[in-house]
Amino acid sequence: MKWTFLAIAITAEVVATSALKASEGFTKLGPSVLVVGGYILAFYFLSLTLKDMSVGVAYAIWSGVGTVFIALVGSFVFKQKLDMPAIIGLVLIVAGVVVINVFSKSVSH
């Protein structure tokens, strides 16, 4: 279940962060409510993940995958251009998450 909880936490965080952009400084009610609800869900499911996974690894995966997804949302939804250094950085983040998942014995606590 830890991976399911972590996936829900990442998804909720990506939705909340995307809504944060759309809230225009919390001046739009709908996106603002989505921000608050999304972050509450994200942290709740991250806390459930931490029952069975070390905090450092869980947070690294959560923040790394979330960063990549937010960059993709920014690119496709908000039409924000990613230059080559940004793309290389995102590839390195994905590589780091893969290394943690494939080679680290720290995934469980």
pTM score, two decimals?
A: 0.86
User: What SS3 state is found at 108?
Assistant: strand
CB 26 within 8 A of CB 16: no
Q: Is 108 contained in some domain?
A: no
pLDDT in the model for residue 25: 95
Give the Cα separation of 11 and 16 in Å (integer). 9
Residue 57 lies in a domain: yes
Write the pLDDT tens digit of every residue in 73-100: 999 999 999 999 999 999 999 999 888 8
Q: Model confidence over 46-56: pLDDT tens digits?
A: 999 999 998 98
| Cβ–Cβ under 8 Å, residues 94 and 68 | yes
| H helices present in the chain, as ranges | 2-22, 29-49, 55-76, 84-103
How many domains are there within the chain?
A: 1
Whether residue 109 lies inside any domain: the answer is no
In a domain, 79, yes or no: yes
The parent domain of residue 96 ranges over: 2-103
Flag whether 48 is in a domain. Answer: yes
In DSSP terms, which residues pair with 108 in a beta bridge? 53
